[in-house]
Amino acid sequence: MHRAEHAPAFMLHQRPWGDSGRVIELFTRDHGRLSVFARGVRGAQARLAAVLQPFVPLLVSWAGRGEAPRLTGAEVDRPRQPVAPLPHGRLLSAWYVSELVLTLTARHDPQPELFACYAAALADLRTDAGHERTLRLFEKRLLDVLGYGVAELDEACFENPAELARLRPVLRAAVARCLEGRTLRTRSVAVSLREFARTHGAEEPASRCRD
């Protein structure tokens, strides 16, 4: 039986399972990405419903055999808990970063360096730091970890807005090669939001994700 106690993690995604359970997709520091089954976590009275939230650093425990063990506990990682909530205008960007991890990482493949980059990207999105810079920098670091990095790309370039604009299509093409034809939901939503703003003559929503 595989068992883990108080493993640092983030929740990437969840979907209903049975009457009151969920299948939780976790990105853990020491065990990589994995699915766990969680019982009794749906509904206002569910003890863990308020804990299992996206973009919040967690300590999770699980036990079981096979590819998807049973969640036995979860709590907020208080020392790493952010002081400020994620602004609504940055939610789509945070989902984009999460979807990249969910789509491009292999299950049960520990990536502590990428875990740290993911946490850093979420922290930056909570501040007034450059929104575009955060996304491009995470794409660059993700590609590096996966072995598809763009050659001779210095992170100092990400401080220059003109360089960011130049690098956007370069990094987008590199990410597209990794996706191998798969479509990101957050990218589709971002395109729809921009099209809505254009056709209705409105300002683009603040929650846009310029992937």
- Tens of pLDDT, residue by residue over 154-179, are 999 999 999 999 999 999 999 999 99
List strand residue ranges (DSSP E) for the chain, in order.
Answer: 2-17, 21-28, 32-38, 58-64, 70-76
Q: Which residue has the higher pLDDT, 200 or 22?
A: 22
CB atoms within 10 A of CB 61: 18
Predicted pLDDT at 11: 96
For residue 126, which amino acid is it?
A: R
Spatial separation of the C-alpha atoms in residues 45 and 40, rounded to whole Å:
9
**pLDDT at residue 142 above 50?**
yes
- The CATH fold assigned to 88-199 is de novo design (two linked rop proteins) (1.20.1440)
- The CATH fold assigned to 2-80 is OB fold (Dihydrolipoamide Acetyltransferase, E2P) (2.40.50)
Predicted pLDDT at 84: 81
Which part of the chain has CATH 2.40.50.140?
A: 2-80
For residue 41, which amino acid is it?
A: V
